[in-house]
Chain A
Amino acid sequence: MTTEQATADTPVTQDAYAPSRRDRTFGLIQRHGATAVLVLLLLVGSLSFARFPTGENLGDIAITSSFPAMVALGMTFVIITGGIDLSVGSVFALGGVLAAYAVRWGTVAGLLVPLAVCGVVGLVQGLLIARVRLAPFIVTLAGLLGARGLLLSISHEGATTYLIPHGTVLARLGQGHLFGLGYPVYLTLVLFVIGGVVLQRTGFGQAVYAIGGAEDAAALMGVPVARTKVVVYVLSGMLAGLSGALNAARLSSGVTILGTGMELDVIAAVVIGGTLLTGGAGSVSGTIAGVLLLGVIQNLINQIGDLSSSYQQVVSGAFLAVVVVAQTYLSRARRL
């Protein structure tokens, strides 16, 4: 044997395996870093700008963040499995156009048609990724182009803009308020609570983590790898479609040029929220913090006023770079 210090009657104590304080600190930063920065920014914003902490302004941040948040919820699942979904921006726009198109058959159709079509887009992508074993990056890049093409054909190359008439139930879903917050904000919160429970408390959620953490080991442990992956992409597609439909309801029309580049903002929010791009770790609460953080940064830059809103992109980009560097450093340090 290589070491002699141990004797048989030494019990295996907890101390022997307790993680170091450094380890725990790193874990905390990874999981709650975005929340901490968000709180900090809210404080700084409130102290600096009189117009920032008003109910109206905060409600504005909430409603504009709720649409990317729904998309980011699906993306969180996808990224935890170790995948990526680049199609969500196009699917978001497709969902909006489909809702405006289908609302002529009633509100139910206005919601179900985008959900179904966007779900099918996700299903096709999921099958190609899980069964044919193509790379998620390529498959969803094709999905990005395909969904955009589909929406252009529905809107006659963007020449036709379908409207959601005021007063319809669908329009009210997008535009209504309760206690100063838009309906989509409440829906987003409910979806995140469900998402959190699914991720932490169901076999499906366990499978999502296990696949991202070690796919081969997960398969050996009996996890239905392919099925789980397919479901994750269907979820992502449906959430992007739903978000797009509600956004169209809010704007009263299916705007075709929306959602370009949205996938990148959403991925940024998820990663800033502490979900590892390599998969296996992450949380929906982090994602919501990540989305809000980007929303608050944008809002604060608007408050400064004389700064061009383009700077928002610079700040968000810089922030993302910092987060990714920190994540890489943290996970490397923990694996030593």
Chain B
Amino acid sequence: MTDPVPEQANAGDPPLLEARDIVKRFTGVLALDRVTLSLRPGEVHALVGENGAGKSTLIKVITGVHRPDEGEVRLAGRTAGFADPLDAQRAGVQAVHQEIGLVPDLSVARNLLLGREPRRALGLIDTRRMHQTAARTLESYGVRVDVRLPLRSLGVGAQQMVALARAVSVDARVVIMDEPTSSLEPREVETLFGVIDRLRGQGIAVIYVSHRLDELYRICDGVTVLRDGRVVHQGALADLDRLRLVSLMLGRDVAQVRSEGVTRFSGAHEASGRPVLEASGLTSRHLLDDVSLTIRPREVVGLGGLLGAGRTETAKAIAGVLPLDAGGVTVAGLPVRRGSATAAVRAGIALLPEDRKAEGIVPTLSVRDNIALAALPRLARAGVVSDARIDRIVETFMKRLRIKATGPHQPVAELSGGNQQKVLLARWLATEPKVLLLDEPTRGIDVGAKAEVQALVDELAEAGLAVLLISSDLEELVEGSDRVVVLRGGAVVGELTGDELTEEGVMTTIAAHTRENAG
């Protein structure tokens, strides 16, 4: 593809892009706290951190989507207060996002060259030359397609390559890649790395956001680890071993782990009997690769892994929300129709989603109505629902889950985060599920409420439910689960029980080298 590239990232070069002491608040919440980042020409810099660490905010500040409250972004030594993303693009700061910023119904060539089409007399677009140029450009990115086809007809990986080619060909000086490989095939990843090498040779600086450790160590020079809006580590990636990087990202110091322990989990339950949930071979292109797991009644199984490892996807697949290419789920021995959320609910699977605002709570409805929502079909007789029956159920759960509200008729929006979470939990418990999938049940709620939700999870398992627990809080995961299945790149890479089940054990499993199979 390209000639071997001389090492260009000399320490003596002045920084090409600099973010200095960036502070950004959203309605009082500190999203970035004096974050500093600097890139030399030709440097590929890894930006890592878990959900909510501030990566996206930092990228948005750099690309002009957000204005920093304090601090400044400097490009080639000059202050660059980008008014909007277009302004940043004109200055040579290009971002390639996960959700591709192209027009699916336009042809590949028109997408690639939109606004820069080759012209003929009268300013008309020269279609033939446009197609030739587009085909030639894309070929150098390993994409050989009929450029006259709509972009939509391409695979996601090829679409991403088109987006990248477009970004880079507009005189880019800084390219930001947000999880660029999340939907690429291995061979496409190789092509991407070739392109990055070429950018490096041209003195373009790259910010590379990814959670795939193998990729980071292969392609990146420097690294910045963000956590809770602060830089917790900055330096050369080669000086940082994998376990240390994982522990920095997760915020769990290997040594510090043993001295603490403040969750409200009681510890192991007596899991008993045959598995109530059996998921086997769950496979979905780019997301899940042959994930199998079982949960018995009274058992809490944790899902470990970094962001994007496939934890949420696994839960969604079990709940029938994520379309699957292969694999299946059985509840109490009976198969559940694949890809049907309704069938999953009927079989007794309840999913408490990660984003409760977007996917769960109906904020304008009352506590009572929110709880009754999922159970309505079961409560109805000939389509008519008895108010008295609903009231009884709502009262039971408000008491049992200790939901703090002025009454069943208070709008849910007025409740605290923890109580909203409990309302959601109540909604699903009202359907009398056998399997409870909890995706980040304690995220974004205060410490007290967190402990209560944790205690509830314990209680529910005691009461005979099979529970799947997803948590980025490593401590919560380890303390709350009887068994932890560790995912990486959408596949199961380890399972920890008993004495192995420690925070260090989980981190070591996450950090372990992947088999070299990507060729």
Q: Which residues of A contact B (CB under 8 A)?
A: 1-4, 6-8, 10-14, 16-19, 23, 197, 200-203, 206, 209-210, 212-214, 216-223, 280-281, 334-335
Within the assembled complex, what's the spacing in Å between the Cα atoms of A119 and B514? Answer: 65
Instruction: Contact check, B187 vs A18: say whether CB atoms are below 8 A apart.
Output: no
B185 at the interface (CB under 8 A from A): yes
- Sample (26) of A-B pairs whose CB atoms are under 8 Å apart: A2-B286, A2-B489, A4-B517, A11-B144, A12-B144, A12-B188, A14-B145, A17-B158, A19-B149, A19-B153, A23-B153, A197-B124, A209-B103, A210-B103, A210-B106, A213-B103, A213-B105, A214-B102, A214-B103, A214-B104, A217-B102, A221-B115, A221-B166, A280-B103, A280-B105, A335-B152
A221: B residues at CB distance < 8 A: 101-103, 114-115, 166
A223: B residues at CB distance < 8 A: 114-115
The residue of chain A having its C-beta at the shortest distance from the C-beta of B181 within the complex is: A1
Which residues of chain B from 96 to 143 have a CB within 8 Å of any chain A CB? 100-106, 110, 114-115, 117, 123-125, 127, 142-143
Measured between C-beta atoms, what is the minimum distance from B19 to chain A in Å?
21
Within the assembled complex, what's the spacing in Å between the Cα atoms of A217 and B102? Answer: 5
A335: B residues at CB distance < 8 A: 152
Within the assembled complex, what's the spacing in Å between the Cα atoms of A240 and B409? Answer: 54
Within the assembled complex, what's the spacing in Å between the Cα atoms of A17 and B152? Answer: 10
B518: A residues at CB distance < 8 A: 1
The residue of chain A having its C-beta at the shortest distance from the C-beta of B149 within the complex is: A19
Which residues of chain B from 183 to 205 have a CB within 8 Å of any chain A CB? 185-191
Which single member of A6, A19, A197, A216 contacts B186 (CB below 8 Å)?
A6
B85: A residues at CB distance < 8 A: 220
Which single member of A12, A214, A222 contacts B191 (CB below 8 Å)?
A12
Measured between C-beta atoms, what is the minimum distance from B255 to chain A in Å?
33
Which residues of chain B from 37 to 65 have a CB within 8 Å of any chain A CB? none
A14-B144 contact, Cβ under 8 Å, with A2-B286, A8-B190: yes
B322 at the interface (CB under 8 A from A): no
Within the assembled complex, what's the spacing in Å between the Cα atoms of A201 and B127? Answer: 8
Instruction: Contact check, B110 vs A10: say whether CB atoms are below 8 A apart.
Output: no
Chain B, residues 435-471, CB within 8 Å of chain A (1/0): the string is: 0000000000000000000000000000000000000
Interface contact tally, CB-CB below 8 A: 120
Give the most central of A18, A200, A210, A212: most B CB within 10 Å. Answer: A210
Within the assembled complex, what's the spacing in Å between the Cα atoms of A8 and B514? Answer: 17
Within the assembled complex, what's the spacing in Å between the Cα atoms of A212 and B103? Answer: 9
B289 at the interface (CB under 8 A from A): yes
Instruction: Contact check, B103 vs A10: say whether CB atoms are below 8 A apart.
Output: no
The residue of chain A having its C-beta at the shortest distance from the C-beta of B101 within the complex is: A217
Within the assembled complex, what's the spacing in Å between the Cα atoms of A222 and B144? Answer: 26
A8: B residues at CB distance < 8 A: 187, 190, 519
Measured between C-beta atoms, what is the minimum distance from A214 to chain B in Å?
5
Within the assembled complex, what's the spacing in Å between the Cα atoms of A282 and B490? Answer: 39
A209: B residues at CB distance < 8 A: 103, 105-106, 110
B188: A residues at CB distance < 8 A: 12
Instruction: Contact check, B89 vs A14: say whether CB atoms are below 8 A apart.
Output: no
A281: B residues at CB distance < 8 A: 105
A14: B residues at CB distance < 8 A: 144-146
B interface, over-half SS: loop
Which residues of chain B from 166 to 189 have a CB within 8 Å of any chain A CB? 166, 185-189
Give the total of B residues in contact with A, Cβ under 8 Å: 47
B164 at the interface (CB under 8 A from A): no
Within the assembled complex, what's the spacing in Å between the Cα atoms of A212 and B105? Answer: 9
A214: B residues at CB distance < 8 A: 101-104
The residue of chain B having its C-beta at the shortest distance from the C-beta of A19 within the complex is: B153
A12-B89 contact, Cβ under 8 Å, with A221-B114, A335-B152: no
Within the assembled complex, what's the spacing in Å between the Cα atoms of A335 and B104? Answer: 10
The residue of chain B having its C-beta at the shortest distance from the C-beta of A220 within the complex is: B101
B154 at the interface (CB under 8 A from A): yes
Question: Nearest 3 pairs between A and B by C-beta?
Answer: A213-B103, A280-B105, A19-B153
Instruction: Contact check, B114 vs A206: say whether CB atoms are below 8 A apart.
Output: yes
Give the most central of A12, A13, A213, A221: most B CB within 10 Å. Answer: A12
B492: A residues at CB distance < 8 A: none
Instruction: Contact check, B104 vs A213: say whether CB atoms are below 8 A apart.
Output: yes
Which single member of A1, A201, A280 contacts B124 (CB below 8 Å)?
A201
Within the assembled complex, what's the spacing in Å between the Cα atoms of A197 and B105? Answer: 19
Measured between C-beta atoms, what is the minimum distance from B287 to chain A in Å?
8
A23: B residues at CB distance < 8 A: 153
Measured between C-beta atoms, what is the minimum distance from B487 to chain A in Å?
11
Beyond known contacts A12-B191, A19-B153, A206-B114: 14 more, CB 8 A cutoff = A1-B517, A2-B285, A17-B158, A202-B124, A203-B117, A206-B110, A209-B106, A214-B102, A214-B104, A217-B103, A220-B101, A221-B101, A221-B114, A222-B86
Within the assembled complex, what's the spacing in Å between the Cα atoms of A262 and B59? Answer: 50
Within the assembled complex, what's the spacing in Å between the Cα atoms of A18 and B145? Answer: 7
Give the most central of A203, A216, A219: most B CB within 10 Å. Answer: A203
Give the most central of A2, A13, A216, A222: most B CB within 10 Å. Answer: A2
B491: A residues at CB distance < 8 A: 2
B155 at the interface (CB under 8 A from A): yes
Measured between C-beta atoms, what is the minimum distance from B182 to chain A in Å?
11
A203: B residues at CB distance < 8 A: 115, 117, 123, 125
B125: A residues at CB distance < 8 A: 200-203, 206
A210: B residues at CB distance < 8 A: 103, 106, 114
A10: B residues at CB distance < 8 A: 187
Instruction: Contact check, B144 vs A13: say whether CB atoms are below 8 A apart.
Output: yes
The residue of chain A having its C-beta at the shortest distance from the C-beta of B154 within the complex is: A17
A1-B186 contact, Cβ under 8 Å, with A8-B519, A202-B125: yes
Within the assembled complex, what's the spacing in Å between the Cα atoms of A218 and B145? Answer: 23
The residue of chain B having its C-beta at the shortest distance from the C-beta of A80 within the complex is: B105
The residue of chain A having its C-beta at the shortest distance from the C-beta of B110 within the complex is: A206
Measured between C-beta atoms, what is the minimum distance from A12 to chain B in Å?
5
Within the assembled complex, what's the spacing in Å between the Cα atoms of A8 and B117? Answer: 33
Within the assembled complex, what's the spacing in Å between the Cα atoms of A219 and B102? Answer: 10
Give the most central of B86, B115, B149, B166: most A CB within 10 Å. Answer: B115
Measured between C-beta atoms, what is the minimum distance from A330 to chain B in Å?
13
Give the most central of B153, B166, B289: most A CB within 10 Å. Answer: B153
Give the most central of A11, A197, A206: most B CB within 10 Å. Answer: A206
B115: A residues at CB distance < 8 A: 203, 206, 221-223
Within the assembled complex, what's the spacing in Å between the Cα atoms of A102 and B136? Answer: 56
Instruction: Contact check, B144 vs A7: say whether CB atoms are below 8 A apart.
Output: no
Within the assembled complex, what's the spacing in Å between the Cα atoms of A47 and B242? Answer: 79
B285: A residues at CB distance < 8 A: 2
Measured between C-beta atoms, what is the minimum distance from A172 to chain B in Å?
31
Measured between C-beta atoms, what is the minimum distance from A65 to chain B in Å?
28
